Structure 1
Amino acid sequence: MRAHRRAAAALRELGVDTIFGLMGEGNLRPLIDFDGLGGSVVATTTEGAAVSMADGYARVGRRLGVASVTHGPGATNALTALTEAVRARTPLLLLTGDTPPRDDHLQRFDLRGLADLAGAGYVRVGDAAQVAAEVARAVRRAETECRPVVLDLPVPLQCIDVAEGPPLRPVPPARPAAPGEEELDRSLGILAGARRPVVLAGRGALDAKDEILTLARSLGAPLGTTLLGKGLFAGEPLDLGVIGTLGSVLALETVRSADCLLVLGAGLNRYTSVDGALLQGRAVVQVDRDPSRISSAAEIGMVADVRETVTSMSELLAAAGQEPAAAHRGDLAELLVAEAARPVTSADGPATMDPRTVMRWLDRLLPADRVVVTDTGRFVYAPWRLLSVRSPQDFAHTCNFASIGLGLGTALGAAVGSGRPTVAVVGDGGGVMNLVELATGVRLGLPLLVVVCNDGAYGMEYRHLRNEGDDPTPARCTWPDFAEVARALGARAATVRTVADLDGVAAEIAGLGADGAGPLLLDVRCDPDVDMADLA
């Protein structure tokens, strides 16, 4: 068979069933073959969205995402989305193919250099006979390194005849590291002696929820999460919610009063730690499979599997007769319930909505099994705080590279991967960048709700100018009517200025995914002078 078909067959043999892509000279043959071999090729409108969709598909599905673009401008158009996926630590394969080796080829470009710029891995097929082995190597690298890998199958090699060879077999993941005995003993000494311990978990603890709950109860410890761990302990009486700059006053007070912080599968970046303030004056025990995530602030940092480590801790504490600590305030559970029921301050105008009002309304009405994806911008405080999910696996944001315009594509991929109602919350500036990709959601009939927080401005820039005492008018923008554009692309749409407007689409939102009607866009008109970062 031809090398391009062997590459497609190798992907199928390795368990890849979906590729998001935009066809061009560098990748059209592998895409056609992949489709012919029973795989699903999701055609996208832009190259960047192909990578974003593969990113969302991988994050929500916790599996490899695969995108494919052509060489040259196809690859450069995907660079921003690729960088976001790198910084999100997404296992992703980007299949492309270098141009024929001619100096006058208009689309010639250094693909290895592009991968290096983004921080992605790079695998080039230099021998057509090794195409299957190189595909397997690229897949394995993406999965084990938890980052995108650019797979370069040069166009001149694609049509070379190669032996079919035996089918490839997926390689099982490596067994996670077990905790070291000395580190485990030292950690248990700190935990057993703590009077006010707090457990902080992140997305790396997703598979250890039950084990963490058992340990937390034995310690008498409240539980909090990072933003990416959002929803992990939803419904638990001592769930503090997200810890850090997004945390509630009660959550922050509880962490500040702690004498020990057990950090599980979570990073301790400046936002989670409030620029390190939450780590000072208390013992920090951190467990993570990735040594690069262990903080220098940790008194003990264990590079080990979270589930296995937590299980060992619980067993050893139980054998030692550990009693739960009782120094946290006794009415904490009641205070958390009261805090959750407290009305959210909002500043709705006569013809504008505060996104905090909208998110509270959506949180009550949307199907419980929804997936939530946000773009980045000043509006994110509202959905991050007020739009809940049942599991961290159901939440993603595109703030890792702080580029606006990636949220819609990521949400489309999440909807394909999950098959469940998916909410994309975007700003007007980021939304207009990729609004054309809504046509992909219409074509696929995806259960997608797009909420555009439309304040008629580049919001962060508007806020920055206003806060500096400068005229914010240069940050104002005039957009086409989002609802009209969405309808032109085949989606349902509504403009929202009041609660009555929201009530008018309540039935469609409550039935998202069940009605089979495809995407719905809400153009929510907002006031750029309302500060959505306010916790109140």
Structure 2
Amino acid sequence: MTDDTLDWISVGHVDDLPEGRVKTVTARTTSICLVHFDGQWTAMDNHCPHQRGPLGEGSIEKGVEGKCWLRCPWHGWDFDPLTGAPPGGHEDTGQKLFPLDIRDGEIFVGLEPEPPHTRTTTDVMVETMANWGVQSVFGMVGHSNLGLSDAIRRSVVDGRLRYYGIRHEGVAGFAASAYGKLTGEPAACLTIAGPGATNLLTGMWDAKVDRAPVLALTGQVQTQVFGPGAFQDIDLGSAFAAVSAFSQPVLSSSNHAELMSLACKTALVEQNVAHLVFPDDAQTLPSSQEAARPKGRMGRTDVTPAAADIDAAVDMLNGARRPVVIVGHGAYGARDAIIALAEKIGAPVLTTFKAKGLVPDSHPLGGGVLGRSGTPIASWFMNEADVILVLGASFSNHTGIASHEKIIQVDYDRMQLGKFHPVDLPIWGEIGAFCNAASARIARNPNAVDQEAEMAERWAIWRREKHRRLAEEAGRGIHSFAIFDLLGQLVPDDTIFAVDVGNNTYSFGRYLETKGTQRVLMSGYLGSIGYGFPAAIGAWAATQDKAALKGRKVVSISGDGGFGQYPMDFTTAVKYGMNITHVLLHNGELGKISKEQRSGEWPVWETDLVNPSFAAFARLCGGQGHKVTDSADLEAALREALGATGPALVEIMTDAELV
């Protein structure tokens, strides 16, 4: 090929490389060893033929006969620095040389015009994934997922996907889990083999136990070295078996479009983790297969309960003088239908902690959270009820739904019905369908108590009590009530909260009064510390993907122990301009554990923490950082952080005893 038909690509300047040195440069995607030796310049293939070691990271050294050789840094193979020829004995052809030209001190390498991209197995699978509605991928590019990563890159360039490169795979797992909880649709998370995949597991368990759809894509070593103990080779099928509803390897003989379709369908239908293992050599195989689409693969989800069950529920509710509705996370999709039913019979609506905000505290029948993280309002109404309608809740011991009351339980998952103890009327069906069918026939009992008036009274009592608690401040930090009372007033009505684990979480559940259509994301059943800020990353990504979430503010909350788990991913938020406000309650200890040690009559041991200034850290990362030590400065700091266009952190010095 003549010089005028080549693509001449700049790879640097002559001043970049001293005499007698080599370096790695890249022209397009071709890795080249650039050599400056004996006053001459050479560009050769950068990969040693032994194990593809990078010659550009090697050195030019004198051999035993005084001749100089370019030595591979991995295993010492030698090549003539100007011709690429070996000394003999292991290769006959030597290294490929590329045309090189120097123009006004700038170095150009000539490459043949780039051939058209050859469609690969992972191109097919990524396109299929996008066709099924996956819009965001959280992950880390690495040596055992490069073929898959390039297929994802192509879809990002084409506008079919968004990609967020995280700093720790645990963040990718939590972000994808939070995305699934918020939207009911899967995001994907990408890792390498070995430690990258194992780092993902905690987030996958969070998704599994909280019923969030997630697609896990893990790289793997080449199929020919499975098992013998190759570098980073672990049995990923076994590692993910317990945490996933679907886990399959991607092989050369697989039906690649169908395999991805089954993974996506499993995640959606089962609301669970679907996992695919991509061996390195299976990622770039040529493929002429078309990407699959979901049309004709999914049915409607409206399941109306049996008529006899609706009849029985209507009879019980019509006869109730003090009906109460308790809603869990599984009822989110039926919010409007639930409110309509509750208003028709004047029933207070209490929520589990995971469903906080489903019916806002600002609603005349909203009674707040029930259970350990809840309000005395909710527990009072539950204890006074004569019929309890439980919608999409699991009866966890954290919530403490009274088992001795008359209970109607409705759930789409039949295994949840009467799971821990018998209920008076277990009903299988979709919650919205039940509410719509029952609402048409129920009527308020003429002898019913005016519980709406009682609700107003109970809120007044609780608000007076909360304000009295401010007197407990003793100069050791700001009271949690002051923080969450003010935050609740300042945030928009459609805020998405991502909360961590610890005393900060209990205080949030107890003190922050929800309004509008606010949502709360948490690590519910797994209860994993460190969840809050990664979950906010996932929630923010969802606000970019989903029209119904566009423009919604994301606020994350943690203690210093929780934020310290994954602090470097604050730089991820900076990199992608994520509009996240993080509220950090800094008390210098794992306060919840200290409290548990005292409660169990143990000495408090090893719960103290040594921390930096988190506000200064946020600023060093390129975001906003505000530190608050006095309640008088709290409002200004929160207002400024909430108004930021990128990530902002408010570090509030708190008293671990005031929760």
Look up the equivalent residue of 2:305 and give its one-letter code.
P
- 1:31 maps to which residue? 149
1:148 counterpart (273, 280, 288): 273
Query: Per-residue displacement from partner, 1:143-179 (whole Å, max 9, x unpaired)?
Result: 1111111111222221222223264235444433221
- 1:440 maps to which residue? 572
- 1:32-47 to structure 2, matched below 5 A, reads 32-37=150-155, 38=159, 39-47=161-169
1:298 has 2:423 as partner? yes
- 1:116-155 to structure 2, matched below 5 A, reads 116-155=241-280
- 1:143-222 to structure 2, matched below 5 A, reads 143-165=268-290, 167-170=292-295, 171-222=297-348
- Partner-residue secondary structure (3-state), 1:331: helix
2:408 counterpart (282, 285, 305): 285
Query: Per-residue displacement from partner, 1:354-402 (whole Å, max 9, x unpaired)?
Result: 2221111111122332211111012211112233444677210124212
- 1:464 maps to which residue? 596
1:263 counterpart (375, 383, 390): 390
- 2:74 maps to which residue? none
Shift in Å, 1:451? 1.5
308 and 125 in structure 1: CA distance in 2 versus 1, 3 angstrom threshold: same
Q: State which drifts further: 409-418 or 52-61.
A: 52-61
- 1:229 maps to which residue? 355
Contact 1:356 1:382 in 2 (8 A): yes
Contact 2:204 2:243 in 1 (8 A): yes
Shift in Å, 1:457? 1.1
4 and 244 in structure 1: CA distance in 2 versus 1, 3 angstrom threshold: same
- 2:115 maps to which residue? none
- 1:22 maps to which residue? 140
- 1:52 maps to which residue? 174
Root mean square deviation of aligned Cα: 2.2
1:123, 1:243 → 2: CA distance? 40
1:525 has 2:653 as partner? yes
1:379 has 2:504 as partner? yes
What is the number of residues matched between the two proteins? Answer: 520
- The one of the two structures with greater contact order (alpha-carbon pairs below 8 A, sep at least 6) is 1
173 and 128 in structure 1: CA distance in 2 versus 1, 3 angstrom threshold: same
Q: Identity across aligned pairs (percent)?
A: 27
Q: State which drifts further: 176-185 or 423-432.
A: 176-185
- 2:198 maps to which residue? 76
More helix by share: 1
Q: State which drifts further: 348-357 or 168-177.
A: 168-177
Look up the equivalent residue of 1:283 and give its one-letter code.
K
Contact 1:48 1:79 in 2 (8 A): yes
Q: State which drifts further: 288-297 or 172-181.
A: 172-181
Look up the equivalent residue of 1:228 and give its one-letter code.
K
1:62 has 2:184 as partner? yes
226 and 473 in structure 1: CA distance in 2 versus 1, 3 angstrom threshold: closer
Query: Per-residue displacement from partner, 1:425-457 (whole Å, max 9, x unpaired)?
Result: 111112112110000011111111112211111
1:250 has 2:372 as partner? no
- 1:87 maps to which residue? 209
Shift in Å, 1:297? 3.2
425 and 190 in structure 1: CA distance in 2 versus 1, 3 angstrom threshold: same
- 2:104 maps to which residue? none
- 1:502 maps to which residue? 634
- Partner-residue secondary structure (3-state), 1:495: strand
- 1:109 maps to which residue? 234
- 2:12 maps to which residue? none
- 1:9 maps to which residue? 127
297 and 355 in structure 1: CA distance in 2 versus 1, 3 angstrom threshold: same
Contact 1:220 1:325 in 2 (8 A): no
Shift in Å, 1:9? 1.5
227 and 324 in structure 1: CA distance in 2 versus 1, 3 angstrom threshold: farther
Query: Per-residue displacement from partner, 1:452-510 (whole Å, max 9, x unpaired)?
Result: 21111122222233334544253212112212222221111122111133144244134
1:181, 1:366 → 2: CA distance? 43
1:244, 1:462 → 2: CA distance? 21
Look up the equivalent residue of 1:303 and give its one-letter code.
W
Contact 1:59 1:414 in 2 (8 A): no
1:395, 1:119 → 2: CA distance? 25
- 1:309 maps to which residue? 434
Contact 1:367 1:421 in 2 (8 A): yes
2:578, 2:565 → 1: CA distance? 20
Contact 1:7 1:30 in 2 (8 A): no
1:409 counterpart (523, 526, 534): 534
More strand by share: 2
1:391, 1:131 → 2: CA distance? 44
Query: Per-residue displacement from partner, 1:32-72 (whole Å, max 9, x unpaired)?
Result: 22231222111111111111111222222332121111111
- Partner-residue secondary structure (3-state), 1:191: helix
173 and 242 in structure 1: CA distance in 2 versus 1, 3 angstrom threshold: farther
Look up the equivalent residue of 1:32 and give its one-letter code.
D
TM-score (norm 2): 0.75
428 and 507 in structure 1: CA distance in 2 versus 1, 3 angstrom threshold: closer
Q: State which drifts further: 338-347 or 257-266.
A: 338-347
Query: Per-residue displacement from partner, 1:87-124 (whole Å, max 9, x unpaired)?
Result: 11110000113211322421101111111243553122
Contact 2:624 2:641 in 1 (8 A): no
- 1:99 maps to which residue? 221
1:56, 1:327 → 2: CA distance? 40
Query: Per-residue displacement from partner, 1:222-256 (whole Å, max 9, x unpaired)?
Result: 22222222222223212212222333223222211
1:381, 1:211 → 2: CA distance? 29
Look up the equivalent residue of 1:372 and give its one-letter code.
F
Contact 2:142 2:192 in 1 (8 A): yes
- Bigger radius of gyration: 2
1:27, 1:128 → 2: CA distance? 19
Look up the equivalent residue of 2:409 and give its one-letter code.
Q
- Partner-residue secondary structure (3-state), 1:178: coil
